[in-house]
């Protein structure tokens, strides 16, 4: 018997039903103006929506100003609600659902943008940013918990169908969970239960706000941090269980830690020449060229690189799971669906081609669907560009020096 693919069938995340199993994973667009939405952000997400996606996720909104690392990043506040409403209306018109990823960059925030010394679980120096960091006081932690709840309400007022809380990749919630980073002596540090306390309190606040607004809640979390001493599967499976009991509607299973193992998130190598090509500051360019390859170590890319770990979660977690990471071909996507993952998260395939989902469908209709593959070469030029420019696939840019495009040849 020929099994019919689930890819183009609807499925639900809590109160929300998506038209198919595809989710545009949060990928920082770098398109905001004054930390609010822009026409470019509108054009990109409506193109992804018109391109057939089930739900598109607007990336990386800070729940408070102290959590910002880029001037082109969203910051959730009442004054941007009308602009976000325009954006979500555009997405809905194209038949897709809209989600916004929300979090706090913690020790990855930038003083000149976040307006204060960056904060984290403890004080120290973050070489990757680079910045001095101060430990959050208990009162401030509780204020941030409230900020996550307020941001959820703002997301609802902005017309989003879902919020995705960013608890991975070495940002603030992940910094608190990390036994490597979190050296606090109070009830937010020490034992694993204590290190989870901040995330639990945030989720309680978010779930309460979301229930009032009938919104879906996803959490993006790490299965492994990707460096020795970081979180591993034994702890992260417990985190997933805790989130499931907190009533979260779906988990996005990822990994990596921006200040220690950035390429674990996306795999492959960071194109250092591309990264520095876009930098306006000569002294930083020289420094990054000298130590970049040492600080940003490559991690081998294989298609569907998180699937093996994600299967361990599938065995014990009942809520819908979004798998993400190198799901570039229909063959691997089908494998993930067969493994019981409800949703397929994709970032680079949709940077390369916002209509990738429709193109998969068209190929299926022509009878060559199972061989269909994204045109993304996972050379990560879009990631090199991300730190200083807007999100564009280099394949669609004119005037890029050949020496950059051939960086890995
Ligand atoms: C340019 C770019 C920006 C990204 N920004 C974010 C982000 O803001 N938040 C996040 O959780 N992940 C971010 N990611 C990671 C993606 O969501 C995704 O987990 C990762 O790229 C693996 O998926 P892919 O192989 O489909 O690209 C980013 C990825 C790329 C390529
Ligand atoms: S720049 Fe490279 S990695 Fe990024 S989307 Fe384009 S082809 Fe893929």
250 and 343 Cβ atoms separated by less than 8 Å: yes
Q: Domain limits at 328?
A: 11-267+302-378
Catalytic residue among 42, 60, 171, 277: 171
Average of pLDDT values for 218-228?
Answer: 97
Average of pLDDT values for 379-400?
Answer: 88
Check if 171 is active-site. yes
Closest-approaching ligand to the CA atom of 301: 1
Instruction: Count how many domains the chain has.
Output: 1
To the nearest 10°, report the CA torsion of 94, 99, 104, 109.
-20
pLDDT at position 287 = 75
Q: Is 64 helix (H, G, I), strand (E, B) or coil?
A: coil
User: Is residue 101 within 6 Å of ligand 1 at its C-beta?
Assistant: yes
pLDDT at position 205 = 98
* 383 CA from centroid of ligand 2 (Å): 8
224 and 231 Cβ atoms separated by less than 8 Å: yes
Q: How would DSSP label each residue in 342-392?
A: SEEEESHHHHH-TTHHHHHHHHHHTT-GGG-B-S-----HHHHHHTTS---
Domain at 347, CATH number: 3.20.20.70
* 339 CA from centroid of ligand 1 (Å): 22
Q: Looking up tokens 């200040």, which residue turns up?
A: 259
Q: Looking up tokens 């325009």, which residue turns up?
A: 86
3-state helix, strand, coil in the chain (%, to 5): 40, 15, 40
Residue 400 belongs to some domain of the structure: no
* 115 CA from centroid of ligand 2 (Å): 33
**Average pLDDT over the chain, rounded to an integer:** 94
Residue 321 belongs to some domain of the structure: yes
Q: Looking up tokens 């229930």, which residue turns up?
A: 211
- Ligand 2 pocket test, pick from 278, 378, 406 with the greatest ligand atom count within 8 Å of Cβ, gives 378
User: Is residue 325 within 6 Å of ligand 1 at its C-beta?
Assistant: yes
Handedness of CA 103, 350, 88, 207 (dihedral sign): negative
* 245 CA from centroid of ligand 1 (Å): 27
With cut-offs at 50, 70 and 90, classify the pLDDT of residue 398: confident
Please give the number of the atom of ligand 2 that sits closest to the Cα of 392.
1
Residue 388 belongs to some domain of the structure: no
User: Is residue 267 within 6 Å of ligand 2 at its C-beta?
Assistant: no
pTM of the model: 0.96
* 191 CA from centroid of ligand 1 (Å): 30
Give the number of C-alpha atoms closer than 13 A to the C-alpha of residue 34, restricted to the C-beta side: 5
What's the pLDDT tens digit per position in 367-387?
A: 888 889 999 999 999 998 888
Q: Of the ranges 1-15, 226-240, 392-406, which is most confident?
A: 226-240
User: Is residue 195 within 6 Å of ligand 1 at its C-beta?
Assistant: no
User: Is residue 377 within 6 Å of ligand 2 at its C-beta?
Assistant: yes
Indicate the range of 51-65, 161-175, 270-284 predicted with least confidence.
270-284
User: Is residue 274 within 6 Å of ligand 1 at its C-beta?
Assistant: no
Residue 51 belongs to some domain of the structure: yes
pLDDT at position 1 = 44
User: Is residue 381 within 6 Å of ligand 2 at its C-beta?
Assistant: yes
Residue 366 belongs to some domain of the structure: yes
Residue 292 belongs to some domain of the structure: no
Neighbours of 115 (CB within 10 A): 11
Indicate the range of 109-113, 135-139, 154-158, 328-332 predicted with least confidence.
109-113
Q: What percent of the chain has pLDDT over 90?
A: 82
What's the pLDDT tens digit per position in 258-278?
A: 999 999 999 999 988 888 888
Q: How would DSSP label each residue in 104-124?
A: --GGG--HHHHSS--EESS-E
Residue 100 belongs to some domain of the structure: yes
Whether the pLDDT of residue 407 is over 90: the answer is no
* 321 CA from centroid of ligand 2 (Å): 25
User: Is residue 166 within 6 Å of ligand 1 at its C-beta?
Assistant: yes
pLDDT at position 408 = 66
pLDDT at position 271 = 86
User: What is the number of residues in the chain?
Assistant: 409
Residue 63 belongs to some domain of the structure: yes
Closest-approaching ligand to the CA atom of 380: 2
């Amino acid at each position: 018997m020929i099994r019919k693919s689930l890819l183009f069938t609807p499925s639900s995340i809590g109160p929300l039903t998506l038209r198919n199993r595809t989710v545009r994973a949060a990928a920082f667009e770098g398109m905001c103006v004054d930390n609010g939405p822009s026409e470019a952000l509108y054009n990109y997400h409506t193109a992804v929506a018109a391109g057939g996606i089930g739900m598109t996720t607007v990336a990386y909104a800070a729940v408070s100003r102290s959590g910002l690392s880029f001037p082109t990043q969203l910051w959730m506040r009442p004054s941007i609600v009308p602009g976000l409403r325009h954006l979500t209306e555009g997405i809905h018109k194209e038949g897709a659902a809209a989600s916004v990823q929300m979090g706090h960059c913690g020790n990855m925030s930038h003083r000149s943008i976040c307006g204060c010394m960056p904060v984290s679980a403890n004080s120290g120096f973050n070489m990757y940013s680079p910045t001095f960091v101060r430990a959050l006081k208990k009162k401030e932690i509780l204020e941030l918990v409230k900020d996550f709840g307020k941001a959820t309400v703002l997301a609802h007022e902005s017309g989003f169908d879902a919020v995705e809380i960013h608890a991975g990749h070495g940002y603030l919630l992940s910094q608190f969970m990390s036994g490597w980073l979190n050296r606090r002596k109070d009830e937010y540090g020490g034992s694993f239960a204590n290190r989870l306390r901040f995330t639990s309190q945030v989720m309680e606040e978010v779930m309460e706000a979301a229930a009032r607004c009938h919104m879906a809640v996803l959490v993006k979390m790490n299965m492994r941090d990707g460096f020795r001493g970081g979180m591993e599967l034994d702890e992260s499976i417990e985190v997933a269980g805790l989130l499931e009991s907190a009533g979260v509607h779906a988990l996005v299973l990822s990994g990596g830690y921006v200040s220690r193992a950035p390429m674990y998130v996306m795999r492959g190598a960071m194109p250092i020449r591309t990264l520095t090509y876009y930098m306006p500051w000569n002294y930083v360019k020289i420094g990054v060229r000298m130590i970049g390859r040492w600080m940003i170590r490559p991690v081998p890319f294989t298609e569907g690189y998180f699937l093996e770990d994600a299967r361990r979660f599938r065995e014990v977690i009942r809520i819908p799971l979004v798998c993400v990471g190198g799901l570039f071909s229909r063959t691997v996507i089908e494998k993930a669906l067969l493994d019981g993952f409800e949703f397929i998260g994709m970032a680079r395939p949709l940077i390369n081609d916002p209509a990738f989902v429709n193109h998969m469908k068209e190929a299926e209709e022509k009878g060559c669907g199972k061989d269909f593959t994204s045109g993304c070469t996972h050379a990560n030029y879009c990631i090199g560009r991300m730190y200083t420019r807007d999100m564009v696939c280099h394949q669609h840019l004119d005037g890029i020096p050949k020496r950059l495009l051939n960086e890995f040849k």
